[in-house]
Copies of this chain bind each other. A is one copy, B any other.
């Protein structure tokens, strides 16, 4: 086990500050294979899910706090680095005037389809071209709540490792598996094993209540403005429709996924 290190940083031009700051940018996250999570609650969620940050950054001379102490111990046990710094530098790293007093750097997870074990859970969420990081994080959170195995991101989605998605996931980024794939790779993978692909649709659909859901059930949600491409819907095993009593004919993508996921949960596990 490598020896833990503890450092104090007071200069804005320190390379570690630059590195941490760079993780707010997707390009740099990808290159480094690392992402940033902020706040004591989120870092505690990570720890309780078995993930210690490689680097833990905190305000120097912080007040004693049992959860922050537990984080420090977890980092020490796993040979990570603890960085103490000033509130000004924390602001610089997080890009916020009023930063959380603590942040951590984590290694990005393997997001290949090959790493998914579909037998792990009866429900999986699938999002296509989901552009809003808040929606993405909310879907992770919903997945955690319904006992889903994870979230599969199809085509060009928001980055699940971006600060906003991580925050909106409320810790589910550490409990849900995440995969990223093009549709042309996802569909053969899905068909290589058991799995029912379900989408909310207005075309050739049955009512979503009482529809014949089957595990493992993959719930597919489309892009926020355009919905799903017609040929994606056509590839589904089951198309279901939800009541739309108002003027509009659609729901927020994360909301539609959640309503459907709770229905599937009730159906599979009454």
Contact = CB atoms under 8 A, between A and B. Distances in A.
Interface string A103-138: 000000000000000000000000000000010001
A68 interface: no
A142 interface: yes
Q: Is the interface of A mostly helix, strand, loop or mixed?
A: helix
A234 interface: no
B246 A175 contact: yes
Nearest to A261: B259
B48 A247 contact: yes
Contacts of A259: 258-259, 262
Given A251-B258, A259-B262, A262-B259, A246 B138 contact: no
Interface in A239-253: 242-248, 250-252
A251 B142 contact: yes
B246 A209 contact: no
Contacts of A58: none
Given A258-B259, A259-B262, A246 B134 contact: no
10 contacts: A138-B252, A141-B248, A142-B252, A143-B246, A145-B246, A145-B251, A146-B243, A172-B247, A175-B248, A242-B262
A263 to B, nearest CB: 8
| Copies of this protein in the complex | 2
A49 B247 CA distance: 8
A101 interface: no
Nearest to A144: B246
A33 interface: no
A151 to B, nearest CB: 13
Interface string A184-217: 0000000000000000000000000100000000
Contacts of A145: 242-246, 248, 250-251
Contacts of A147: 243, 245-246
Contacts of A262: 242-243, 259
Nearest to A138: B252
B170 A248 contact: yes
A150 to B, nearest CB: 11
Interface in A144-193: 144-147, 168, 170-172, 175
A244 B144 CA distance: 8
